[in-house]
Structure 1
Amino acid sequence: MDKNTLLSSFGKWVSPINIQRLSKQVEHLKQDYYTKKLTTEAYIKLLLFAQLHELESLHAISDALLDEDLQKTLGFESISASQLSRKTNDLKPEILSTLFLDLVTKIQGHHHQSKRNMPLKIIDSSTLPLNLTNYKWAKFRKTKAGVKLHLRLVFMDQETVYPEKATITVAKEHDRNQLEVLVDDKEAMYVFDRGYVDYERFDRMTDDGYFFVSRLKKNAVIREVESFSLPDDCTVLSDKMVYIGTTQSRAENLFRLLEVEDTKGNILRLITNRFDLDVEEISEIYRSRWAIELFFKWLKQHVAIKHFYGMSETAIQNQIYLALITYCLHVLIQLETKSKKTLLRISHWLKAAIWKPAYIWLRRFEQKTST
């Protein structure tokens, strides 16, 4: 990053990107051969600017270069939509995937240990719809196309949540198939919804020493082995040790089944292989699953993934990774400043002061304003 860029709020925001490491990977993959102007570094900066401002098309990104400060940051005065399109379709997604994981490592180095004995890791997916006419390779229903973002989100507390691992597939890929990819840390507590229910995998996770809380489907067959007593003031309805599944398809291990009532009065059946936690703790752990719903909502509302810049699988993956990188950069500035401000407020301030000296942007974090 050049000195002038680092003096701006935008430069401060993107400064966690390890340009030296990025350059080595770009060189190794021969990504910038024959590239005179739109290098991978310049492309990433420009597309992060587009994510921040939720620009909906390559033409809109091209037009944004009328901004002289953006020109100085990138080192050129203009770029055509066709050049942007070629780069979007040619850039190997592994470059942005590596950049995303590098930022995740930086986040992990920033945040403090949670009060929990184990970090809470929430697994879920979100489908991003596509037009079937233009994205036939992503067809998953008769008249629909789409891709699916499978995600593992770390929940430290209500202020600190961040994506830790992501895979991108076509929408017809079943969630259960990604569970083993997203579960790889025995020092964590995993939370996922009933779309991931798989008795054989529950057995395998338990035998391998992974801990989880999930929700059983309504038609799940259970056989009670023992019922545990509950405190008088407990909000949990029941606590049992059970076998799950039918005689033909049954889990071998014993599990713990809790019945809880949600905010709408519906009865939820929670299954876990943790017998050492009290019922309220398990109930609270599952309630934390809302964090990933809020994350997907934030992603769809506040970065540029409602409209995709290209029609290839590569273009789609690159844009999703850029959205995740945008989120991680917001989290990093939040952690660095020890701010309780929302990511949305941080983003709004950044856009308002984007080419002003970084201290003007950072000074807002110290002021007592509503979040």
Structure 2
Amino acid sequence: EVCPGFTEYGRHSGFIFRLKRGIFAMDSTTLQLTLASIDWARHRRRKAAAKCHMRLNIGTFLPTVAVVEDAGHHDSVRTVALCAGMGPGDVLLADRAYVDLDFLSDLNTRGVFFVLRDKRRMLFETIKELPCSGKILKDELVRPAGVKTSESYPTVLRRVTALVTVDGKEREMSFITNNTNWSARTIAELYRARWTIELFFKEIKQTLQLRDFIGTNERAVKWQVWTGLLAHLLLRFLKHLSRWRHSFSRCAGMVRAALWVKADLLEILQCYGTADGPHRPVLCAKEPFLPGFEAFSSRPVGQHG
């Protein structure tokens, strides 16, 4: 291993650290393009967009699989490709857009655990109600009630309804999972961890310039996205080597400025913010004067000397 500890689970603590298994979040983000010059990615009548599908490792905050293409299709189209490498014991977190019972049945057969947001219009038959308390409103074992859905997923699912804090407000949410051993609170907290991928998308868009594209054809857009993901990986690696304690955006800004200086980049990052005293400049009470004019400061203003 080139750098021990770089891919270890060190970002999150609590229940994720205790589970000690691969926990992945799956989602996609839309990259807005200009329809006047990019016709291959026509998304709507007057819009063009590309889409980046991703499976993110929650523990390491690093992408595992990414697919970049046009945005003219549903998110669930790329579920098989994104989850092809998942094995027994891994955990998948996703939104309700990825609720496909055939896909979930395949994950269950492979021994992969999943926690997804429940679809409102999907009908389930309650088999058994489990005890719940606190912010857990319902905990029940269910089975798909439709004819086609019961054939797609013939085994039992678990549905948990809980109050989840979102932006400082509590919202009622329902989740489905194939794990019957975890506590209902763990299932709700696992879904909250899914929002980590939203922070990842926000981070790469703000720091890696994935809003302004240089090229207009399909290959140019894909290469710029791939280059941004590689740059993000290198920045994370530098942050790990230098033990950077500040924000990721500040690290990216330091690297961007240091590229034009002939100096050791790792030394610059390691010594940043290590000087004694406060980091912010302190206002000086003395008035500044040009050299040689200090003697005139004691004379009254507006009067002859």
Matched, 1:357 2:264: yes
Query: Residues 1-371 of structure 1: matches in 2 within 5 Å?
Result: 110-113=6-9, 114-156=17-59, 160-183=60-83, 184-186=85-87, 187-230=89-132, 232=133, 234-250=134-150, 251-263=153-165, 264-354=169-259, 355=261, 356-358=263-265, 359-364=267-272
Conserved 8 A contact 1:107-1:331: no
Preserved CA contact (<8 Å) 1:111 1:335: no
Distance 2:145 2:240 in 1: 44
- 3-state SS, counterpart of residue 128 of structure 1: strand
- Please give the alpha-carbon distance, in whole angstroms, between the structure 2 residues aligned to 1:311 and 1:199: 37
Q: Distance in 2 between matches of 1:360 and 1:296?
A: 27
Larger relative contact order (Cα-Cα within 8 Å, sequence gap ≥ 6):
1
Task: Give per-residue Cα distances to partners, 1:305-338, cap 9 Å, x unaligned.
Answer: 1111111111000000111111111111122233
Q: Decide whether the 8 Å contact of 1:339 with 1:365 is kept in 2.
A: no
Distance 2:5 2:270 in 1: 21
Amino acid at match of 2:268: I
Task: Give the CA deviation at 1:277.
Answer: 1.0
* Alpha-carbon distance in structure 2 between the residues aligned to 1:126 and 1:323: 14
Structure 2 contact 143–155 (Cα < 8 Å) conserved: yes
TM-score by length of 1: 0.65
Deviation at 1:297, TM superposition (A): 1.0
2:243 touches 2:270 (CA, 8 Å); kept in 1?
A: no
**What's 1:48 paired with?**
none
Question: What's the secondary structure of 2:272's corresponding residue?
Answer: helix
Q: Quick check: 2:244–2:269 contact (8 Å CA) kept in 1?
A: no
**1:110 match: secondary structure:** coil
Inter-partner Cα distance in structure 1 for 2:90 and 2:217: 36
CA distance in 1, matches of 2:31, 2:178: 32
- Between the aligned partners of 2:187 and 2:203, the Cα distance in structure 1 is 26
1:117 to 1:313, Cα distance in 2 relative to 1, 3 A? same
Q: Which amino acid is 1:210 matched to?
A: V
CA distance in 2, matches of 1:151, 1:137: 21
How far, CA to CA, are the matches of 2:68 and 2:220 in structure 1? 12
Deviation per CA, 1:56-113: give whole Å up to 9, x if none: xxxxxxxxxxxxxxxxxxxxxxxxxxxxxxxxxxxxxxxxxxxxxxxxx978862324
User: Which amino acid in 2 is paired with 1:353?
Assistant: A
Change (3 A) 1:316 1:203: same
Equivalence for 1:71: none
Question: Which structure has greater strand proportion?
Answer: 2
Residues 282 and 307 of structure 1, relative CA distance in 2, 3 Å threshold: same
Q: Please give the root-mean-square deviation of Cα atoms over the aligned residues, in Å.
A: 2.2
Distance of aligned partners of 1:366 and 1:220 in 2 relative to their CA distance in 1, 3 Å threshold: farther
SS at match of 1:178: helix
Change (3 A) 1:137 1:360: closer
How many angstroms does 1:214 deviate by? 0.4
Aligned mates of 1:212, 1:185 — CA distance in 2? 11
Query: Structure 1 or 2: larger helix share?
Result: 1
| Partners of 2:110 and 2:35 in 1: CA distance | 41
Residues 174-225 of structure 1: CA deviation (Å, up to 9, x unaligned): 2111111111211421100011011121112112222111001222211110
Aligned sequence identity (%): 26
**1:165 aligned partner, one-letter code:** V
Match of 2:288 in 1: none
| AA partner of residue 270 (structure 2) | L
Aligned-pair CA distance for 1:117: 2.7
My pick for the range that moved more, 221-230 or 111-120, is 111-120
Task: Give the count of matched residue pairs.
Answer: 261
| Contact kept? 1:149, 1:168, Cα under 8 Å | yes
Question: Is the 8 Å Cα contact of residues 129 and 139 (structure 2) preserved in structure 1?
Answer: yes
1-structure distance, mates of 2:245, 2:268: 18
| Gapped regions of structure 2 (runs ≥ 5) | 10-16, 280-305
2:214 is paired with a residue of what secondary structure?
coil
